[in-house]
Structure 1
Amino acid sequence: MKKFTVVIAGGGSTYTPGIVMMLLDNADRFPLKKLTLYDNDMERQKVLGEALNITLKEQAPEIEYSYTTDPATAFADADFCFAHIRVGKYEMREKDEKIPLKHGVVGQETCGPGGIAYGMRSITGMIELIDFMESYAPNCWMLNYSNPAAIVAEACRVLRPKSKVLNICDMPVGTLRRMSQIIGKTPKDLEVRYFGLNHFGWWTSVKDKNGYEYLPQILDYVAKNGYLTQIEVDTQHMDQSWQETHKKAKDLLAVDPRFLPNTYLKYYFYPDYVVNHSDISYTRTNEVIDGREKEVFSTARRIIEKGTADGSEFSIGSHATFIVDLARAIAFNTHERMVMIVENNGAIANFDHHAMVEVSCIVGTDGPEPLTQGIIPEFERALMYQQVTVEKLVVQAYIEGSYQKLWQALTLSKTVPSAKVAKAVLDDLIEVNKGYWPELK
């Protein structure tokens, strides 16, 4: 079996060690020849990079490993780039969450004004990464799961339409894991049909390989319990704030009991609830800094101090096996069935052909082929059209440097109550994002 060269862009991310461990755990399915971490923040990356160097020497010495801030070195001979960058790091994420809350608006990383602010920063970083890849590894595929995925995907569609970039999100995978627990199956036992936008969609079918439909059983469970399950081992999104989000799914389902909702819909259906249950002094960013950030970096420093990973291993990012599934689908033409973000092109019959939608796809050597979803109901179509227009306006505002279009994007978001509030939030976000956003006029 061929061995692959992989670069992980965002090498200083707290998710990187889990992804590396996941790759090692899947070495029989996706063997590595060379692994490189790439980040523009060497100080942050070095801690994880050194700890992983020790880990790989002990567990997989045959893999050629390095970490660097030089894109030419990072991308040399790469077959795949796994991209999960965070432009502005936690410092800016905290502003994305707290500035909207100051105005009584949802403060969230990917939804509403915070997601728009993050998107405006992420476009620059993603386009730079794509250009590096195409310069130094023209045959490389980029598997992008950087947030906010919807805005990033739209920017890629407009600015780099011919690039070999696949946009995917772990949220449908994580929720499917919970669905499988509800019915006593594993995610690999199930095939789903799903339509929507990233962080904004619905499952319409959950079948096993024999064609048995579990949707009614899961709908009944979620109507009573949300996506909360009794099995919490080896499951992502475990913090208290996420548990509340999983529980809230029962209220999302009540809005349309036909389909299983993506949990992120709570920010659009119940923004008042979200704001009232938010603590502006301690948002999700603070929770992550005090949780995953400390845990991962303390583990890394322990490994470096001891000179061995024995007894201080990084956890396997088992939720991220979808990345290996996607890479294998491209490399070995496995025709894996996956939920991905793709240009609609008729997959949803009564929706904008050029919208970047999230639907079930069959993935092979040429990339994803969307499964036809047919005509979707008016309620979901209207919600999606409003939200996809927000995303398109953000990308247009970025390209044109248009204050007007970004104000329109914020005004159109279901999370923002009025144009007046949208303008106040926008002006505050512009101030703190100087140096990250294009100048708006």
Structure 2
Amino acid sequence: MTEKKGIKIVTIGGGSSYTPELIEGFIKRYDTLPVHELWLVDIPEGEEKLNIVGSLAKRMVKEAGIPMKIHLTLNRQEALKDADFVTTQFRVGLLKARAIDERIPLKHGVIGQETNGPGGLFKGLRTIPVILDIVKDMETYCPDAWLINFTNPAGMVTEAIYRHSNWNKVVGLCNVPVGMRMGVAKALDVKPDRVEVDFAGLNHMVYGLNIYLDGENVTKMVIEKMTSGDTSMTMKNISDLGWEPGFLKALNMLPCPYHRYYYKTDEMLAEELKNAEEKGTRAEVVQKLETELFELYKDVELRKKPEQLEKRGGAYYSDAACNLIDSIHNDRGDVQPVNTLNKGAIASIADDSAVEVSCIITKSGPKPIAVGDLPVSVRGLVQQIKSFERVAAEAAVTGDYDKALLAMTINPLVPSDTLAKIILDEMMEAHKEHLPQFI
């Protein structure tokens, strides 16, 4: 990783509609993060989108006047050679698979969502074998590189890499904590750099334990604003259903938007069913949005990230990814919430499990900040989701049907083993093309 040759970054899933966000982030940080080579990698099914996004990326770089060379390829091994950082943002089965993940559970009266419940399980079953193949290629072609994984379910994927490979230079990343911090800043009407949050939990199951404004603990103030209806924090892909004031006050922590699936299951299910009937599931909505985005991307006059991308649900994606890479490269020692090995940071989670927690970011990776035990009010739910992630990862690696059934059943969004089996069998059949380990 020398200054002379600059930095080589490989993005797997480079044809994603999110890629312009990433390009924008690298352009903004070029002075401190001189990316001289960026390889965008995709699969044959994604070649058309890769070419469209890649052309936009090249126009953005040219407009910025920086010497960043953009390469487009379907050859992952060629791209990985001597990379410094590898970022992953792919979706096995594309949005069609996500729509199946949403539709089948809903048909059976269960939350249908990309990273939670049955949908999260099947996204993990499809994704983990692929990410482990990528890791094997990295061992051969870029053994010193850092793997920055944005691919969902990020917590389960990070867990699988740590537990089922020999690769330890991996960091799982999510834009949810960044969005939570931005939401706090908006609620307090201050600049985000004045706000700090102690994050602890799991991916899409993370809590803001303490909130600080200029170093002063303002957790109760923020909770008051949320209970009074002055502010609400969610994402484009999660319905903005308000919380019971008494619940939030007693919790006295900042829940993440995904907690609605666990604390407001009935209301969220009703909302999902209504939306699915009226305008389609989230995947079906995103398919339409992506069609519009890629039409915009084709415009040869477009030389910057279009504002419409924010509707896609990936706000702060580039900031999270680029800040992390910049901090590792420059050994900044700043604090960022990431998915990494627990190493005792959360007392009630195994040391060798992946957690999402505030870390000091250094050139040797994230150093988790110890928070002690999670409050008893949330400890059990977090542990249950962690057990789900571990069993699901084992099922994905081994192709063990019974382990997949166990994972489905212990997920708190699935009400019984009988229903778990019905949904599991139907989804196994629907996704069989992308589940060769279960054949």
Cα shift at 1:344: 1.8
Quote the Cα distance in structure 2 between the aligned partners of 1:67 and 1:171: 29
Tell me which residue corresponds to 1:80. Answer: 85
Gap change, CA 1:387 and 1:69, over 3 Å in 2: same
SS at match of 1:277: helix
- Displacement after TM superposition at 1:318 (Å): 4.8
Structure 1 segments (4+ residues) deviating >4 Å: 249-253, 315-319
Aligned with 1:373: secondary structure? coil
| CA–CA distance in structure 2, aligned partners of residues 252 and 370 of structure 1 | 32
Alignment partner of 1:335: what SS? coil
- Tell me the residue number matched to 2:367: 369
- Contact 2:219 2:252 (C-alpha < 8 Å) held by counterparts: no
**Shift in Å at residue 313 of structure 1?**
5.1
Alignment of 1:25-424 (within 5 A): 25-40=28-43, 41-60=46-65, 62-209=67-214, 211-225=215-229, 227-228=231-232, 237=235, 239=236, 241-242=237-238, 244-245=239-240, 247-249=241-243, 253-254=247-248, 256-279=250-273, 280-281=276-277, 282-291=280-289, 293-303=290-300, 308-309=301-302, 314-315=306-307, 318-424=316-422
Letter in 2 for 1:206: I
Q: Is the 8 A contact 2:174 2:338 kept in 1?
A: yes
CA gap of 1:221–1:190, structure 2 versus 1, over 3 A, is same
1:389 deviates by 0.8
1:10-25 counterparts in 2 under 5 A?
10-25=13-28
Q: How much has 1:146 moved relative to structure 2?
A: 0.8
Cα distance in 2 for residues equivalent to 1:400 and 1:136: 26
Q: In structure 2, do the counterparts of structure 1 residues 313 and 405 end up closer, same or farther at CA, with 3 Å as the change threshold?
A: closer
The residue identity in structure 2 corresponding to 1:223 is T
- Measured after TM superposition, the shift of residue 410 of structure 1 is 1.0
Determine the C-alpha separation between the residues in 2 that align with 1:17 and 1:66.
Answer: 14
Q: Say whether the 8 Å CA contact 1:100–1:107 is kept in structure 2.
A: yes
1:318–1:152 CA distance, 2 compared to 1 (3 A): closer
CA distances 1:102-159 after superposition (whole Å, capped 9, x unpaired)? 1100000000000100010110221122222222222211111110112101111112
The residue aligned with 2:312 is: none
Deviation at 1:270, TM superposition (A): 2.1
The alignment yields a C-alpha RMSD, in angstroms, of 2.2
Cα deviation for residue 225 of structure 1 reads 2.6
Matches of 2:148 and 2:244, distance apart in 1: 32
Asked if 2 retains the 8 angstrom alpha-carbon contact of 1:343 and 1:356, the reply is yes
Structure 2 partner of 1:232: none
Q: Is the 8 A contact 1:226 1:249 kept in 2?
A: no
Question: 1:21 offset after TM fit, Å?
Answer: 1.6
Q: Taking every aligned residue pair, what percent have the same amino acid on both sides?
A: 29
**Cα distance, 1:57 vs. partner?**
2.8
* Cα distance between partner residues in 2 of 1:198 and 1:161: 22
Q: How many residues align?
A: 424
What amino acid sits opposite 2:295 in the alignment?
S
Structure 1 residues 96 and 290, CA, compared in 2 at 3 Å: closer, same or farther? same
Determine the C-alpha separation between the residues in 2 that align with 1:59 and 1:328.
19
Q: Give the Cα–Cα distance (whole angstroms) in 2 for the partners of residues 300 and 26 of structure 1.
A: 23
Contact 1:51–1:300 (CA under 8 A) maintained in structure 2: yes
Q: Is the 8 A contact 2:197 2:211 kept in 1?
A: yes
Three-state SS of the structure 1 residue aligned to 2:217 is coil
Shift of residue 277, structure 1, vs aligned partner? 1.2
Query: Does the CA-based 8 Å contact 2:54-2:70 persist in structure 1?
Result: no
Deviation at 1:256, TM superposition (A): 4.1
Q: Which amino acid aligns with 2:327?
A: A
**CA separation of 1:204 and 1:288: change in aligned 2, threshold 3 A:** same
Distance 1:249 1:32, change over 3 A: farther
Quote the offset at 1:395 in angstroms. Answer: 1.2
Contact 1:174 1:319 in 2 (8 A): no
Query: Separation in 2 of the partners of 1:39 and 1:117?
Result: 21
Task: Give the C-alpha shift of residue 189 in structure 1.
Answer: 2.2
Contact 1:5–1:80 (CA under 8 A) maintained in structure 2: yes
The 3-state SS of whatever aligns with 1:435 is helix
Structure 2 distance, partners of 1:408, 1:168, is 27
